[in-house]
Structure 1
């Protein structure tokens, strides 16, 4: 018999035996209804639903992520700045910042940043 085939068979037998042993040992004797029920943040899933999530918190979070990504994009550009590529660097960073400012102005103009209406 080939040596690799023997090793493969041994690995298969060990894997199956360990899986069977773990499944036999890990069986719970008593099924607890409270422990097996899913819960989230201490709320009872069978009770009334929670209050709806405010869209303003979501929008502020999205704005935060957008400006974080802006920093992630522009910071390597600053480190890679070379005098010979100054025009290209200035144009690309200007376009990125203007795009972000246009989006921020659009959200501000539509009233998405107001906390009360």
Structure 2
């Protein structure tokens, strides 16, 4: 057995090396051709967006009034005189925006659970109940502290 392996190794070592063949590109469809539907979709989306933006003012009603031409200041009446330094914006606007973002992001974490609820089993069910309880406690805390009052 050893002598057979040895003789095969010697025979392979004595053979001249085979010439190196250059790598040939595949003869099938090019790889860029598979992106053609995506490129067409982007072109159609861009054409529709440009068409909608240009056609809207031409087709839409032209009823202008004083309220439409003034700047919108989040429900606050704009003053006729500019305020030096920009004026103060109530903190309630920022608090409401941050609470919306916070609870919105927390609710986004529920989507993966909804997709893989069967695979997670009882462990996933317990974890999602704990997550919802935590979000519920945070919501109750913010509500009791007056963070959701709009006045």
TM-score normalized with structure 1 length: 0.51
Query: Does the 8 Å CA contact 2:96/2:147 hold for their aligned counterparts?
Result: no
Alpha-carbon shift at residue 109 of structure 1 (Å): 0.8
Distance in 2 of aligned mates of 1:53 and 1:68: 23
Question: Where do 5+ consecutive residues of structure 1 fail to align?
Answer: 1-46
Query: Does the 8 Å CA contact 2:117/2:124 hold for their aligned counterparts?
Result: yes
How many residue pairs end up in the alignment?
69
Equivalent of residue 65 in structure 1, options 101, 114, 130 = 101
TM-score normalized with structure 2 length: 0.40
Question: Where do 5+ consecutive residues of structure 2 fail to align?
Answer: 1-82
Moved over 6 A (4+): none
Distance in 1 of aligned mates of 2:101 and 2:110: 14
Alpha-carbon shift at residue 115 of structure 1 (Å): 2.4
Distance in 2 of aligned mates of 1:114 and 1:103: 16
* Aligned match of 1:78: 114
* Aligned match of 2:136: 101
Alpha-carbon shift at residue 73 of structure 1 (Å): 0.9
Give the root-mean-square deviation of aligned CA atoms. 1.8
